[in-house]
Amino acid sequence: MAKKKKPRITRPPDPDDDWNDPEPDPDEAIALADEIIELITNASGDVWEVAYAYFERVRESSKGIKATVTRTREVTKNQLEALRGWRRGVGKWVERK
């Protein structure tokens, strides 16, 4: 007598899965990098004194991502998330003044 196969259980897709996310937009990444660089450049001297190392690191990283995205016209999800996080972080420092 042959064994009966267990019925296959299917689940609806998880909305948090990456395959549901739209492709990252290179234009958004370039715009975010430009905005971050502009915010840092226009920050007051008081903020620069306190957050100099952070600003320098973020500015150089943003320039690097922007150069890569401009050259390849592709952006990864992690690069875009990093830019969004840096934008929030720089915005908080600039608003403190």
Distance CA 18, CA 58 (A): 26
pLDDT tens, 8-58?
A: 777 776 666 666 667 899 999 999 999 999 999 999 888 888 999 999 999
pTM, 2 dp: 0.77
What residue ranges do the domains of the chain occupy?
44-97
| Residues in Cβ contact with 82 at an 8 Å cutoff, skipping those fewer than 6 apart | 61, 65
